[in-house]
């Protein structure tokens, strides 16, 4: 499998209005880490006010990281994730206002701020192109075809055919993009976190 580049977007418009500018940097810092994104993904899949046991959370995150069924994890794999969540990641997410972490009971709850944030993560394999580059290419080719057609009859399908081809290509591309961003690239949808692909 080739190397992957990862692009994480937290759109400013997706931040709840009760998140001030000073906390925005803290929130971006939280999502710079894959383990914390996995925690957020798991919590967003649960009921809004669900109190999650740290043991269950760490098992699920470890299974995503190891790409195995949770029952296939050994003690050391679970313990390593559990310890880092308990000592570092969850307190950081708590300070950013995304979760409430109760150390005494080892439980985690998504806050209102955390529940209101949508995160989109595009993972692009080395031999693939990001959606932005794809749309620029399609637009450039379409504009070139339209220009050639306007100059003369160099394209066998004519001007109307070129217009329909461009429109259908952009429509299908946009529908696929919409589906992927809403269902596959958004942290907190069903399945594995987008970054674990």
Q: pLDDT tens-digit profile of 51-104?
A: 999 999 999 999 999 989 999 999 999 999 999 999 999 999 999 889 999 999
- Tell me: do 40 and 60 sit in the same domain: yes
Residues spanned by the domain of 47: 4-120
pLDDT: is 157 or 71 the higher one? 71
- Tell me: do 106 and 177 sit in the same domain: no
Determine the Cα–Cα distance for residues 153 and 155; give it in Å rounded to an integer: 6
Q: Is 60 exceeded by the pLDDT of residue 28?
A: yes
pLDDT: is 104 or 191 the higher one? 104
Is 192 inside any structural domain?
A: no
Q: What does the DSSP 8-state code read for residue 105?
A: T
Is 188 inside any structural domain?
A: no
- Tell me: do 15 and 111 sit in the same domain: yes
The CB-side HSE value for 85 (13 A sphere, CA atoms) comes to 32
Statement: the pTM of the whole predicted model exceeds 0.75: no
- Tell me: do 104 and 169 sit in the same domain: no
- Tell me: do 111 and 147 sit in the same domain: no
Angle between helices 34-44 and 54-66 (to 10 degrees): 120
Determine the Cα–Cα distance for residues 66 and 72; give it in Å rounded to an integer: 10
Q: Is 60 exceeded by the pLDDT of residue 159?
A: yes
Determine the Cα–Cα distance for residues 4 and 138; give it in Å rounded to an integer: 23
pLDDT: is 142 or 33 the higher one? 33
Q: State the total domains in the chain.
A: 2
Q: How far is CA 141 from the centre of its chain?
A: 29
Q: Identify the domain boundary among 72, 90, 120.
A: 120
């Amino acid at each position: 499998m080739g190397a992957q580049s990862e692009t994480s977007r937290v759109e400013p418009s997706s931040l709840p209005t009760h998140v001030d500018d000073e906390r925005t940097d803290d929130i971006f810092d939280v999502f710079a880490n894959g383990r914390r994104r996995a925690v957020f993904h798991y919590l967003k899949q649960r009921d809004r006010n669900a109190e999650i046991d740290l043991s269950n959370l760490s098992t699920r995150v470890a299974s995503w990281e190891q790409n195995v069924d949770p029952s296939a994890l050994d003690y050391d794999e679970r313990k390593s994730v559990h310890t880092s969540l308990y000592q570092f990641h969850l307190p950081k997410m708590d300070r950013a206002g995304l979760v409430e972490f109760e150390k005494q009971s080892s439980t985690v709850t998504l806050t209102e701020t955390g529940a209101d944030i949508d995160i989109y993560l595009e993972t692009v394999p080395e031999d693939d192109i990001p959606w932005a580059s794809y749309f620029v290419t399609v637009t450039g080719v379409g504009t070139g075809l339209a220009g050639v057609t306007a100059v003369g009859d160099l394209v066998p399908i004519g001007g109307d055919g070129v217009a329909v081809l461009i429109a259908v290509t952009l429509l299908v591309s946009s529908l696929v993009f919409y589906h992927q961003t809403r269902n596959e690239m958004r942290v907190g949808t069903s399945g594995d976190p987008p970054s674990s692909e």
